[in-house]
Amino acid sequence: MPYHAGVPIDLAAAAAHLAAADPVMAGLVRAVGPLDLRPPRPGHFEALCRSIVYQQLSGRAAGAIFERFRALYGPAGAFPEPAAVLATPPETLRAAGLSRQKIASLHSLAAHFVAGDLDERGLEHWPDEEVIAHLVRVRGIGRWTAEMFLIFQLQRPDVLPVDDLGINRAIMRRYGLPAMPKPEQVRAIGAPWRPHATVACLYLWRSEDTALPA
């Protein structure tokens, strides 16, 4: 299915497709009920900075650090341009609570934007795999982070992160597997979900947070 930038995911149509294509998904659609998807953040650079800051931290701790990072550049609500982040000395970022590794990642991300290797419009319009290929060139951003960006920020309709722990755990439970699935198993199970794999993932994640029978 071709991707058209700016077209929102039709959650109801995706749920109907999944319910018709896969009996397990049909059960999840009934049990979980209607989904919602939070609107994306205003800027992709901000969303990627947030992804870096939040890596391997609890939500509360990461949120506090992210707000201190944002406050370095002006009043609440403003977010710095990439050039401003790139020009910020490491010791200033350290004072906001960022680790050396995350400072290096933020500087790398900002440098890619300043150089034009990444830009807001390109991220909107590149195909999924091209977005991933560009993002993984940034220090500290791997394929999983890029896939989460595709799902939650760009809200692409057909993303299947085969290495996601939550997805794999939900597939093991809901599909009665004896062990966590390998990537090729996830792709095979997910084949009927196309072109709505993103919404299938949302149902699987939600099923892990919902009191559903195994």
What amino acid positions are annotated as catalytic residues?
Answer: 164
**Alpha-carbon distance 155 to 188, whole Å?**
23
Type of residue at 99: S
Q: Contact at 8 Å (CB) between 86 and 110?
A: yes
- Using only C-alpha atoms, the chain has a radius of gyration, in whole angstroms, of 19
